[in-house]
Amino acid sequence: MKERQRLVMVGNGMAGLRMLEHLLKLAPERYEITIFGAEPHPNYNRIMLSSVLAGGADMNEIILNDLNWYEEHQITLHRGHTVNRIDTAGKKVVSDQGVEAAYDVLVFATGSNPFMLPLPGADKEGVIAFRSIQDCETMIEASKTYRKAAVIGGGLLGLEAARGLLNLGMEVSVVHIHPYLMERQLDETASRMLQRELEQQGMKFLFSKHSEAILGRGRAKTLAFTDGERLDADLVVMAVGIRPNVELAKHAGLQVNRGIVVNDYMETSVPGIYALGECAEHRGIAYGLVAPLYEQGAVLAKRLAGVNTEGYAGSVTSTKLKVSGVDVFSAGSFKEQDGSRVLRYQDELEGTYKKLVIQGDRLVGAVLFGDTSDGAELFSLMKKGESIQGREKELLLGVPADALSKGTGGGRLEAMPEDEIVCGCNGVSKGTIMQAIHEKGCTSVSQIKACTKASGSCGGCKPEVEGLLQIYAGEAAVSVKEGICSCTPMNRDEIVAEIKRMRLMTVKEVIHVLGWETEEGCTKCRPALNYYLGMLWPDEYVDEKESRITNERYHANIQKDGTYSVVPRIYGGVTSPSELKKIAEVAEQFEVPMVKFTGGQRLDLLGIKKENLPKIWEALDMPSGHAYGKTLRTVKTCVGNTFCRFGTQDAIGMGIRLEREFERLNAPAKVKLAVSGCPRNCAEATIKDFGIVAIDGGWELHVGGNGGVHVRATDLLCVVKTEDEVVEWASAFLQYYRENANWNERTSTWVERVGLDSIKQALESGEARAALQARIRAVLDKTTDPWKQIVNEPELRKNFEPLAGEEVGRTGL
């Protein structure tokens, strides 16, 4: 076996660890890795410090790579060690505690240091930066004794610190040298709108102020300015910027300007030594945002793994943030330039603002405030450099060009024939919607939905319905807040928050306490509430069978003629002669009209009478395929390397393991998995909710696919090496989906709504994945096959006796 090279990394932060994660996937056996970190903590998300300060998260929640991760990857981590000497000739580093480490490859990931203004009194107690966990702890402790805080710096970091201190009960004044806030991310108009929002939250602002000194005996008491004014402050937080941490590199003889100078492959001026992150300077730029640093890490990982890469060419940066609850976005060169055109849209009532900067026929900059939903599209146009000629108004107003003259969808919708179908799910035409507006007085989307069912199923036609409402109802059209159903205006997040806050424990209790408009709820909200309660209180909540849909109550799929179908579980599509013989005997015994192979590689027994369902299950004595409700349906597999000459991994074994792992799992909507044994993808894994594709030496994990009405290809979540990692990531993804999706929301819709990046961030930490996996395991350990209860409990069997004149409903309660 080839001897491993020694890789030493100075710095234990986000950029360096992201690079190592890539490297370990590309070349897991190539390096023996040692890390020196100045802080006593493992790698954590520095961006989340404001949440820690505000009390929204604790230290454990922001850890990205816990200590187990280092151990699992055989990485030596020296916590609380500052490297103070590098011998480039002898290729070794020495820490302040005398620990030495020899290297073949050295990586600088030393990040930045907060810039502290050299003011008289800056060394007093109560004067700190906002850069680390220790800073958060100091601020939290100070808030217990002192009341008045001053934050020097009106950039993002300063505003985050101010928001956290407000939450801690302190009076906060933000002091800024510029005339308006966040001048690097916002123009003056957006900044003033942000200022008004923050002032309403309790922040105070002093603009164009130059700090002169910090006064007080031993501890800060007053902040003095050059204009003679003074501000009482027991705590002074400096958030005036960062500087690349380059002193160690400079002493080691590396070329240093503002940062450590690197080329496109992150190589420094000394062979075998690399730098990335906030300490690095590439083509004259030292980046301070996460996205460019992660791009650098991906390039360096490939370089160190010996994989071809085009190198790092720099980044077009964008900033999408939530500042104290306010959404802001900026990208590119958003300040006016010679020869540029500027388009603006501002709505003071809604609190929204949009500014586009156009150079020639290309978009070069943008600022959004209040509504940042168009940010991704605008940033994509900037990066691609596409011409936007003729689309300027469309991009500014956020609606198609042919809709601008008549409101939403105006021109196109007015020209649409009255017999053209608008809602394909329910067969509702334009004429029917017009009739509902003109003759039945419908003035909102929800009323049109109740009257015609348009937009009542998948919701894909809702923009067209809204457009027709604007055209034909005019000023009478009203925007009504829509809840999960017509019984309540509350949405999913509001309902879940109230259930948690008041510890509501039954469906009836939720309906009563939260003021439903209908006494018993409806077929839409009751199953949703039943799911949310079970998801929130798995140890205490007693599942309400009467609040489940028909299929789930009878544990069979109701058909159009009132009969049912039964699908026994066939793990991974793999069966045996004895299992097939049992199914055949049951089908003959009960004279099942049809036995059909399903698309999920199972057998479906169709045409079964309701009263025979318990007897069928008893005779089969097989696990249920759960093909009837919002659960794990199937895990489709190809034969993988068991038989196929192209297979790279054991797809069958992986599929069976996943199916056994997650069978009986309740979810917001049905869930389908698939495992393909090679990139030829015979199991169609890339249109499943969670798809696994085998590659040489590992597995690609894909999420958010759908092969139904709205076909959607999956997004790549990550690449892992082992089957255990596949199960870990699948568990974490499915549980995160269970806990955060709306009722009846497929993963395909959910992933698009919340964004893949937010999901990746939630699952990034090994500790977070472990916690999610533990929660999903706890739920599954408490579940049993419903058919076993039906067979063994006489009271439940009574529900299957036919009733005179029984009404058949496909999805009703």
- Distance CA(564)–CA(173), nearest Å, equals 67
- Predicted local confidence at residue 83, as pLDDT: 97
Largest CA distance in the chain: 97
- Predicted local confidence at residue 480, as pLDDT: 60
> How far is the CA of 724 from the CAs of 403, 677, 718, 768, in angstroms?
51, 16, 14, 16
- Distance CA(704)–CA(717), nearest Å, equals 9
Contact of 174 with 231, CB cutoff 8 Å: no
- Predicted local confidence at residue 802, as pLDDT: 57
pLDDT along the chain (813 residues), means of 10: 89 94 93 96 83 68 85 94 96 96 98 93 94 89 93 90 87 96 91 91 94 95 96 95 94 96 97 97 89 89 94 80 74 84 86 91 91 76 85 76 43 69 68 88 82 64 81 77 76 88 89 84 86 90 81 78 84 88 90 86 86 86 84 91 88 93 92 93 92 92 85 91 96 95 90 90 94 93 78 68 44 46
Cα dihedral sign, 64-726-600-561: negative
- What length is written for the chain? 813
**Residue located via tokens 């096959």:** 785
- Predicted local confidence at residue 464, as pLDDT: 79
- Whether the model pTM is above 0.75: no
- Predicted local confidence at residue 150, as pLDDT: 97
Q: Establish how many alpha carbons lie within 13 A of residue 465's alpha carbon, considering only the half-sphere containing its beta carbon.
A: 29
At residue 215, what is the residue type?
L
What DSSP state is assigned to residue 427?
Answer: T
Which residues, listed in sequence order, are joined to residue 37 by a DSSP beta bridge? 79
> How far is the CA of 320 from the CAs of 47, 327, 329, 409, in angstroms?
13, 7, 4, 28
Q: Which domains does the chain have, with CATH numbers?
A: 5-113+244-305 (3.50.50.60), 127-240 (3.50.50.60), 318-398 (3.30.390.30), 410-476 (1.10.10.1100), 492-548 (no CATH), 549-624 (3.90.480.10), 626-784 (3.30.413.10)
Alpha-carbon 19 to chain mean position: 21
**Residue located via tokens 């994989």:** 307
- Predicted local confidence at residue 803, as pLDDT: 45
Contact of 217 with 124, CB cutoff 8 Å: no
Cα dihedral sign, 228-229-234-236: negative
CA angle, 152 then 158 then 159, to 5°: 125
Strand-by-strand arrangement of the 557-558 sheet: 557-558, 564-566, 603-608, 594-597
Q: Indicate the pairing of strand 235-238 with strand 204-207.
A: unpaired
Task: For residue 550, give the H/E element and its range.
Answer: helix 550-554
